[in-house]
Structure formats: C-alpha cells, structure tokens
Amino acid sequence: MSDDPVFRPSRDAGRWDGVEVRPYKDEGDAPFKDITRQALFVDGRLGCELRYFEMASGGHSTLERHEHVHAVMIFRGRGEALVGGTVRQVDTHDLVTIPPMTWHQFRANRGEPLGFLCMVNAERDRPQLPSETELDTLRQTPEVAAFLDGSTPRPKTPTRRRR
Ligand code: MN
C-alpha cells in the first residue's frame, strides 16, 4: 500500500495512470449493463475506499441495497439516480448520499456516459438484490417503474380541455 505511487496523473476524463479499468462486478448474477469500475484509493491506512464507476450511454448499475452508505459525486456526464422511492436527474458535480438499506441504481439514460466517484467503508456488507415482492413495491411509483424499465421519462404536458 505505502509503496503505491503518490502521483497518478489523469490522462483523459475518467482515466488515470496506474489505475486499471475493471469489470463492474465479478459475480454474474447481479444485473448491470455497460459499466466499469476503477479503484482509485484502496489503502489499508484508510477506513474508506474511493472508486470510480462509469457507464456508457444506456448503461446502468445494479439495483441493490446494503447497510453501508455511499457518498457519490457525479464526475462526468449526466443521467438519473434512484434512491429509495425517488428518481432524480443527476448532473456533473452533483452529490448523492445513499443511506443504509436504501434501494439505489444509477442509469446513463440521458444519451451520454455517466461517471461517478463513490466513497464507501473499507469494511462493508454485501449488497442485497430486490425480491419480486420488493420490485413490485418499488414499481408502484410510476416514475420508479419508468426508470427501471429504462424508458426516458417525459416532461409533464399540460392537460388540455376537450370540447
Ligand atoms: Mn451500492
């Protein structure tokens, strides 16, 4: 750890010298799409880790929850995030806190890549995936259902009176 290089220059947005671009997750059963992971700071002297995740346009992270908290900063691009029962558009430099045991997912659904920095505890519990019942409950909110289906949410159009 302490032998790691102190300086690791950035070459392009979201790429750094000495940082390997890896698959998002090793296990095959958690659903995700077009997303990579980079471990920026993983150091036994720290109680936390800082990772960088990047989705290609149309990609998304896994819908999951866990006891540990995520501290997220959008690093490039924009998209949408589901946190609990709320879907919000997220833009470069926005901050998102994922509280304990809160369903969350990021989607690059705005026609461009979405990259975010994510700080987590070094020691953390494993993510849980939603059961069918939990998915049904989430889907009862129309915005959440549209988000999970990957359909682009429409701006509300004013209702016209018909004659
Ligand atoms: Mn998570």
Q: What is the pLDDT along the chain (163 residues), one digit of tens a residue?
A: 446 789 999 989 999 999 999 988 765 667 888 999 999 999 999 999 999 999 999 999 999 999 999 999 999 999 999 999 999 999 999 999 999 999 999 999 999 999 999 999 999 999 999 999 999 999 999 999 999 998 654 444 555 555 5
CA 159/CA 17 separation, integer angstroms: 53
Q: Which of 126, 117, 132, 27 is nearest to 67 (CA)?
A: 126
CA of 101 to the centre of ligand 1 (A): 9
CA of 1 to the centre of ligand 1 (A): 25
Do 29 and 62 touch, CB atoms closer than 8 A? no
| 48 given a catalytic annotation | no
Q: Which fold has domain 21-148?
A: Jelly Rolls (2.60.120)
pTM: 0.88
Q: Which of these is catalytic: 83, 118, 144, 148?
A: 118
